[in-house]
Amino acid sequence: MTTPTNGDTVTIDYVLKRGDGQEVGNTAEAGPQDITLGSGQIFPQIEEALASMKVGDEKSVAIACENAFGPRRDELVLDIPRANLPPEPAPQPGMALGAQTPDGQPMTLYILEVGEETVKADANHPLAGENVTFDLTLRDIKTAV
């Protein structure tokens, strides 16, 4: 059996866990994911782990928050006038809002609180400030041509 190299497409299953072990994502619903190594689709630590794995191997990869989704940044918690939001659906805590950065890049904000005149929304990634662990299973390797 061989291990994958840059340019190969690997099929993986994963379980994503917070530092405290709480599962926050997996491939159970969407199915295995195809990743082309060297394309920057995933964290470098996962690519490095996959490069030493053979089909059927399992490995856990711990990634510190600084190298995963970054530290939480208080300046990314914003008060948005309700007048700037569409009237429907009514804003609710936990709701995701699509927005753009000043340079036009798409971003997602999550509503934290709803007030009479404003909503407090968080532009941090939901896992910002968290150490994470990916439990990986390598399912297949498609060698680059």
DSSP state, 91? P
pLDDT in tens, 39-60: 999 999 999 999 999 999 999 9
pLDDT at 44: 95
Preceding omega of 71 cis (within 30 degrees of 0): no
Q: Is pLDDT at 116 greater than 80 in this prediction? A: yes
Confidence of residue 145 (pLDDT cuts 50, 70, 90): confident
> Which CATH class for the 74-122 domain?
mainly beta
Cβ–Cβ < 8 Å for 26, 15? yes
Domain boundaries, the chain: 9-69+127-142, 74-122
- Band (86; pLDDT cuts 50, 70, 90): confident
- Torsional sign, CA 49, 53, 56, 60: negative
**Residue 1 confidence (pLDDT):** 63
| CATH classification code of 9-69+127-142 | 3.10.50.40
Pairing assessment for the beta strands 9-18 and 132-142 based on DSSP bridges: antiparallel
